[in-house]
């Protein structure tokens, strides 16, 4: 049996969504130690999966490897379509676990397109490979088409910057109990609508923000400067998405972001991907206070939800085997 362990990721946004610029997309995000995903695989004559969402990936991987079957268990998981990147992590963990069970060497980056992952953002793939804070290169804008590309008809954008994150940084994650974020066809339609009408001036400010504020702050481990910069990045991305998600943040994320932003224990807050998860950057020393603020924010909304605190993950997914 092989066992793969990985974690969630945060996605702060894209560098550019306007067709007026040479490069499109360019994801920015980071890997988290929690919540965790664990996938276990054993050889089998048929496909046996204990988690329904993993079954399509198990079938695709068996096709890729040319094997008949697998027994795939997912003893630890986190919510799908919550802004935490579960789909890419589940796909790649399944790939590596099944490959390990059959003593096959697999390349997550090369196989990701065949699994339907990494088409726009390369953050999830890079987080799986090496963890840390990641900026990817995006795609040439000339490749954009009004219809989605066929599965596998792309390469995953490669990182142009990667940094380890300080061990004492913490992220308070607030996931309200609301319908999941967009995925699949609705997400594709929304993204194309955003791209076709995106204001190119936002990308100009984003480029300045990334080079002059975000990258220096993460390189120096300056939690306050990094928090302010990623919060601004989230607001700029939200301006692009406002018509699609009902505001700069998807309701009720905006109220949670506002509450977190008012706390001196939190250095920056925003929405991850399509939400509904909201993050707040804090430190190990201030994490208890920050978590209390997050719980109060949910209470004030009159909404149930999950509040958890996670540190950064500065390494890639782990692979272990119980076999000889």
Question: Residue 324 pLDDT more than 60?
Answer: no
Q: What stretches of the chain show up as alpha helix (H) in DSSP?
A: 55-65, 86-101, 108-111, 123-130, 184-197, 200-209, 215-220, 223-245, 253-261, 287-301
pLDDT-based confidence at 235, cuts 50/70/90? very high
List CB contacts of 237: < 8 A, sequence separation 6 or more: 12, 13, 14, 206
pLDDT at residue 149, as a whole number:
80
The residue among 159, 294, 283 whose CA lies nearest residue 221 is: 283
Residue 256: pLDDT band with limits 50, 70, 90: very high
Secondary structure (3-state) at 206: helix
Question: 295 — phi, psi (to 5°)?
Answer: -65, -40
Q: Which of 135, 133, 157 is nearest to 313 (CA)?
A: 133
Tell me the average pLDDT across 202-224. 98
Alpha carbon 304 to its chain's center: 23
Give the pLDDT mean for 167-173.
98
Per DSSP, what are the bridge partners of residue 36? Answer: 7
Domain 2-321 architecture: 2-Layer Sandwich (3.30)
pLDDT at 50: 95
**Average pLDDT rounded to a whole number, residues 109-124:** 96
Asked if the model's pLDDT at residue 16 lies above 60, the reply is yes
Q: SS3 of 60, please?
A: helix
**Of the listed ranges 72-81, 172-181, 291-300, the one predicted with least confidence:** 172-181
Residue 60 pLDDT greater than 80, yes or no? yes
- Cα–Cα distance list, 183 to 180, 200, 249 (Å): 9, 25, 17
* Mean pLDDT rounded to a whole number for the chain: 95
For the segment 88-110, the average pLDDT, to the nearest whole number, is 97
How many Cβ atoms sit within 10 Å of the Cβ of residue 66?
A: 8
pLDDT in tens, 138-156: 999 998 887 778 887 889 9
The DSSP element (H or E) to which 2 belongs, if any, is: strand 2-16
Distance CA 258, CA 263 (A): 9
Interval 237-254 mean pLDDT: 93
Q: In what helix (H) or strand (E) does residue 252 lie, and over which residues does it extend?
A: none
Query: pLDDT category, 323, cuts 50, 70, 90?
Result: low
Task: Report, as an integer, the average pLDDT of 178-186.
Answer: 81
| Pairing mode, strands 69-76 and 47-49 | parallel
For 156, residues 6+ apart whose C-beta sits below 8 A from its C-beta are: 109, 112, 113, 117, 118, 122, 125
The pLDDT score that the predictor gives to residue 189 is 87
The answer on pLDDT for 29 being more than 60 is yes
> How, if at all, do strands 305-310 and 159-163 pair?
unpaired
DSSP 85-126: -HHHHHHHHHHHHHHHHTT----HHHHGGGGT--SS--HHHH
């Amino acid at each position: 049996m092989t066992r793969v362990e990985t974690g969630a990721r945060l996605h702060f946004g894209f560098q550019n969504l306007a067709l007026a610029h040479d490069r499109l997309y360019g994801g920015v995000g980071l890997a988290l130690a929690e919540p965790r995903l664990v996938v276990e695989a054993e050889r089998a004559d048929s496909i046996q999966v204990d988690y329904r969402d993993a079954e399509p990936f198990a079938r695709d991987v068996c096709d890729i490897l040319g094997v008949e079957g697998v027994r795939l268990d997912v003893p630890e998981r986190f919510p799908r379509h919550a802004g935490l990147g579960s789909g890419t992590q589940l796909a790649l963990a399944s790939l590596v676990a099944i490959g390990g069970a059959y003593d096959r060497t697999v390349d997550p980056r090369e196989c990701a397109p065949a699994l339907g992952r990494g088409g726009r953002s390369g953050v999830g793939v890079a987080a799986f490979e090496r963890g840390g804070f990641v900026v990817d290169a995006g795609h040439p804008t000339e490749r954009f088409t009004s219809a989605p590309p066929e599965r596998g008809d792309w390469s995953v954008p490669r990182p142009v910057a990667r940094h380890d994150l300080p061990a004492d940084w913490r992220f308070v994650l607030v996931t309200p109990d609301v319908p999941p974020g967009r995925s699949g066809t609705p997400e594709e339609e929304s993204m194309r609508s955003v791209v076709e009408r995106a204001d190119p001036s936002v990308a100009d400010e984003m480029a300045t923000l990334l080079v002059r504020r975000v990258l220096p702050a993460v390189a120096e481990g300056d939690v306050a400067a990094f928090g302010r910069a990623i919060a601004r990045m989230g607001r700029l991305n939200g301006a692009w998405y406002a018509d699609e998600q009902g505001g700069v943040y998807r309701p009720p994320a905006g109220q949670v972001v506002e509450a977190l932003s008012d706390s001196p224990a939190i250095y920056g807050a925003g929405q991850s991907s399509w939400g509904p998860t909201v993050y707040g950057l804090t430190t190990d020393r201030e994490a208890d206070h920050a978590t209390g603020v997050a719980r109060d924010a949910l209470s004030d909304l009159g909404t149930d939800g999950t509040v958890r605190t996670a540190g950064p993950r500065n390494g890639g997914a782990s692979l272990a085997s119980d076999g000889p």
